[in-house]
Structure 1
């Protein structure tokens, strides 16, 4: 039988030797740089003079403000042109005046860009494009033109406010508001962007798009936007010069379209093939005139008037008064009901009737 070995508790001297040997064989792990910096700063803090401590506090406050401003999109950055997708959103403005663009290019070349553009981070960047253009389309186009002319990198980057990521309806609203303030959109452009925004899912329908995009406009102006939205929906693919439509002409088209003239418009435009705004309107006016001359359905002027029966009793349960009030007697499982109808009935009249009924019933009770 094997003899059991007796275990003995190590002495304090043995434990010290074991610990020393363990430390020699285990490499020490250096502290993280940021942790070391924080530790050094904490160690030095009590020894700093008041002025230095105040400056450090200001630096900390400034850093916090900087981070907050960046998160809210209030900091101006210089963004490379190739990282901006100008077509991330369908633009509300259809045509750019070459004269205005030339003036803008000359101004930027001489004085620089006075106002930054606005961009937002794309949720899915592609082909090196990290940002979508929110506002400043003309400024971006002018910068790209100047960049192509100059071999230097002077116009390779543009000043921009990088707005936080936002939903598409908010982005469309911001774009429309910016253009309305700087250069008012045409009636057709307003209707067009409302339809496009709705079709892209930014709004549930065109009506909601108009209400949101032009919320600050008057009720009459929103009504006009809806009319031009109808013109774009029905004839947008056929019109060659839609931006030339005046308010009056656009409303005439919308009226004819509501009357069912869409097919006639399309036939006339297809056969006529206009080459100028006036030629196009001449063709459209033919259909508008035809629609105006068509017999109109008589308008329904509310509910038909009900004939009032003559005063007196009509059966046992209906009484017609000379003032036009009808009193009907009805019953249910709990008793009798009196139903009173008539334009002359008011709250005061009903209160008087209730008092008379009370007096009548109380008098009957005494008898």
Structure 2
């Protein structure tokens, strides 16, 4: 049988030492004497203060509105105030070549009296100094800049803008053209020019593809005219001083002789006239153009090999009219009405479109 150990009660001094040691240990422990689950509950309560149903609903609305704002901004539906010096107006080629001074004065007066009612459109670009490129609103941007330069008022230091995210540069150019077509119609030369430059920059596969994309809502006849002026820009754009003043009818005549091979002779005549200082006005430039145009219009093109020999102009019979250019017009009729057949090596879709337009004007007269 094991010998039992005799237990004796600690003395008063020993008890004092034990109590002092216990106090030192427990005072250094946080939440001493509190169960772990109680500590977790207390911390959760401190982190989440109680709130009523109205406050919770307001927070939910704020989250929803913030999400809607982010979505609208991403889609370019939020109007922002952007400093004028942060916008590059020539970040992409512009369709409009000239600004009418009288129209600009009217626009500035309107903005000064009523403010800018329609924001411009920009797109973000990788440029630290000018991070926004202009899509549409060139006239409005210039007007606000002129007002700021004149008045130095802070309200003209920024401009209202919608920040767009075009999927491609072609989308931005199309938006610019559509805006100008609606608000201030472009000339045919400006339309042709923007189509050619867009194709040259690789935005569209060809000038014809650019015309079809940029002016998709235009009629077939109008697109045909734009292609004619695109040809003028391609072959003569570097020499013409007043191309935007070229009348539609005159431009179509120029395009027709360019297709017939008149480019070198037109360029030579323009160069000689400019050297003689005979090209100071649109009227003088047209005189130089028309000299070659008339020559080519009078000259008959060689007949295709094996084709009908060239004839003098006049009626062969009551149904057939021979033109000096080698084109033949034949009239006829059937159960549905009258017919006109056009034959000849020089006939193309552009000429047929022009003839249709002339007939439309003829039959629309009272």
Normalising by structure 2, we get a TM-score of 0.68
Q: Is the counterpart of residue 114 in structure 1 residue 117 in structure 2?
A: yes
Deviations 1:6-29 (A, max 9, x none): xxxxxxxxxxxxxx9999xxxxxx
Alpha-carbon offset, residue 71 of structure 1: 0.5
Gaps spanning 5+ residues in structure 2: where? 1-26, 31-43, 308-366
Alpha-carbon offset, residue 43 of structure 1: 2.9
Q: Say if 1:300 and 1:153 are closer, same or farther in 2 by CA, change over 3 A.
A: farther
Match of 2:178 in 1: 177
Which of 284, 287, 291 aligns to 1:286? It is: 291
How many residues of Structure 1 are paired with residues of Structure 2 in the alignment?
266
Q: Is the counterpart of residue 131 in structure 1 residue 94 in structure 2?
A: no
Q: Say if 1:286 and 1:67 are closer, same or farther in 2 by CA, change over 3 A.
A: same
Deviations 1:316-366 (A, max 9, x none): xxxxxxxxxxxxxxxxxxxxxxxxxxxxxxxxxxxxxxxxxxxxxxxxxxx
- Partners of 2:28 and 2:114 lie apart in 1 by 74
Q: Is the counterpart of residue 48 in structure 1 residue 52 in structure 2?
A: yes
Match of 2:60 in 1: 57
Match of 2:217 in 1: 216
- Partners of 1:301 and 1:198 lie apart in 2 by 39
Alpha-carbon offset, residue 55 of structure 1: 2.4
- Partners of 2:152 and 2:69 lie apart in 1 by 34
Match of 2:256 in 1: 255
Which of 95, 99, 106 aligns to 1:92? It is: 95
- Partners of 2:240 and 2:164 lie apart in 1 by 36
Q: Is the counterpart of residue 69 in structure 1 residue 72 in structure 2?
A: yes
- Aligned residue for 1:297, secondary structure, equals coil
Q: Report matched runs for 1:1-367 at 5 Å.
A: 43-44=48-49, 47-49=51-53, 51-122=54-125, 124-126=126-128, 128-273=129-274, 274-298=279-303
Deviations 1:177-198 (A, max 9, x none): 1101111111000000001111
Gaps spanning 5+ residues in structure 1: where? 1-19, 24-38, 303-367
- Partners of 1:193 and 1:199 lie apart in 2 by 10
Alpha-carbon offset, residue 231 of structure 1: 0.2
Normalising by structure 1, we get a TM-score of 0.68
